[in-house]
Structure 1
Amino acid sequence: MSFWKNLFKRSTKQHESIGRLAWIGVDMHNHILPGIDDGSSNIEQSLTLIQGLKELGIQKSISTPHIMHGVHDNTPTTIKDAHTKLQQAVADSGMKFGLQYAAEYMIDDQLGTLVQNENLCPLPNRHVLIEMSYLAESKALFQTIKDIQEKGYQPILAHPERYNYYHQNFKVYKEIKDAGCLLQLNLLSISRYYGEPVKSIALTLIKSGMYDLVGTDMHHEKHLHALKMVAAKYDTFDLLKDNPIKNATIFEDSQKLAI
């Protein structure tokens, strides 16, 4: 039975999620670095989240902690330090897992300076993950996209389906794409985890073939539990087959994936 016929079917058991997200290749958006933002609080929790990704079939990850002025004042140095600690803990645990790091940038009054100075922590192959507040649209979005491109980077807008202020203005998603920005889906958005309106617009964007990338945006074990339920319930590969998902082609072969 297709995804669309199963859409409102009752959830199945979590064990049925094993290996179901292997097709993604690389989880390019999550918050599993310990003690650095609103994601994992410590190394033990980070290892639990990594084990969960492995059970889902994901063997490589790019951690993307928030950089948000006055809230999460991370820098490439603080992120690297947290990554180094987690990388060592993964090695000590005996797990085999590819672990890289980057950042998720809030479009705020600091980002323009970071872009102009190229003081960035990008994803592989010069990709930069950006986000906006869920409360109000950033008027600097299109200028930020342009500024990032002019420095030779490729912008990616995280979870566009979660910006409720765009839900009644579908054409803005096309304008963002036309501006040369890639769109990244949060896998939990295809369920009701973030609410019915987010699910509805996510499915509309999927039907329109608008997404370029997928990520878990996993912060904690509640997210992991929900991801397992989504993976067990839905055929996400079939769902996204008409979208040009680039996780594997952009990030799978990137260098220095630590084992």
Structure 2
Amino acid sequence: MIDIHSHILPGLDDGARSVEEAVAMARNAWLDGITDMIVTPHTHDGIYHNSLAQIREAVEQLQQVLSSRGIPLTLHVGAEIHIHLELVENLQTALLATLCDQYKYVLLELPSYQLPRFTDKLIEELLKKGVTPIIAHPERLEVLCNQPQLLARWIAKGAVAQVTADSLTGKMGKSTKRVSEAMVKNRLVHLLASDAHHATHRRAELSAAFSVLTELLSKEEAALFHENAKAVLRGLPCRVKEPAQAPARKWWFW
């Protein structure tokens, strides 16, 4: 399995607090069947400002530690970038990291309650530059839970979205589980990731959530989540099916 969203790099954000915790997270991931992990520390969220150069160096250092401990987990450069006006420029000047350092995908973090007015324009600009936005954990963003038609519109333009493993398994609450299942069934999410932060909670595990996917979807549709993760790793297009149509008055969540 491939995990495209994790906070395993020690000391860079609110994820792993030490090298030892990062090692424990990596061991958890490997034992769960994860072979590759894209590291995605927060950046430009008003608290953390992790540059591409910092992330590259941190990945190299942690990979060496994992190799010395006999943990065969392969790390890849990435970042969870909070939406901001200069985002495209910061990518073009190599200040910020794209996933796998390929300038093909960017993991985009949106505010939970209110979107900036430039959101649509930014997503369109990224797509025009050949960079596919991956909307991180929409099931945990109130603005998209209340207005999933916004997410459907971005998907129609070429964006994709990532659901969190703990959301599907219910570890983030019944309401979040219900919304995430609805998003899966209505084809509003295309990738599954751990969004792992620690070794004891919000762990780097995907297998239980993939089991939930197989209960919600056909075998073919569930397999797309694996295939799309491989596509992100290789810088290839994800396979995306058209989102379900919304009811006339209200969407399906509530």
* Alignment TM-score, normalising by the size of structure 1: 0.79
5+ residue gaps in structure 2? 237-254
2:145 pairs with one of 147, 167, 170: 167
The answer to whether residue 124 in structure 2 is matched with residue 142 in structure 1 is: no
Equivalence for 2:133: 155
Contact 1:114 1:120 in 2 (8 A): yes
Choose from 111, 121, 125 the match for 1:133: 111
Q: Is residue 2:21 matched to residue 1:45?
A: yes
Partner of 1:248 in structure 2? 230
The one-character-per-residue Cα deviations of 1:230-258 (angstroms, maximum 9, x if unpaired) are 8189444443543532112432699xxxx
How far residue 188 of structure 1 moved from its aligned partner, in angstroms, is: 0.9
Choose which of 183, 186, 195 in structure 2 pairs with 1:208: 186
One-letter amino acid of the structure 2 residue matched with residue 173 of structure 1 = L
Cα shift readout 1:142-196 (whole Å, capped 9, x = no counterpart): 1111121222211111111111122232322211211211111111111333333
Aligned partner of 1:61 in structure 2 is 37
CA distance in structure 2 between the partners assigned to 1:51 and 1:253 by the alignment: 26
CA contact (8 A) 1:115 1:147 kept: no
In structure 2, do the counterparts of structure 1 residues 38 and 251 end up closer, same or farther at CA, with 3 Å as the change threshold? same
TM norm structure 2: 0.80
| Aligned positions, number | 228
Runs of 4+ in 1 over 3 A off after TM superposition: 115-120, 232-241
The CA deviation at 1:77 is: 1.0
What is the RMSD computed on CA atoms of the aligned residues?
2.5
SS at match of 1:128: strand
CA deviation digits over 1:9-49, x for unaligned, max 9?
Answer: xxxxxxxxxxxxxxxx2101100011101111111000100
Specify the alignment match of 1:223 in structure 2. 202
- Give the match's secondary structure for 1:121: coil
Corresponding residue SS for 2:38: strand
- Deviation sequence 1:210-241 (CA, Å, 0-9, x none): 3221110000121128x58x818944444354
Aligned to 1:178: 156
Q: Provide the C-alpha distance between the structure 2 equivalents of 1:52 and 1:107, rounded to a whole number of angstroms.
A: 30
Report Cα offsets for 1:98-137 as digits up to 9, x if no partner.
1111111100244243145454311135111101122332
The aligned counterpart of 1:84 is 60
Secondary structure of 1:178's counterpart equals helix
Alignment match of 1:108 (pick from 69, 74, 84): 84
**Cα distance in 1, alignment partners of residues 160 and 210 from structure 2:** 27
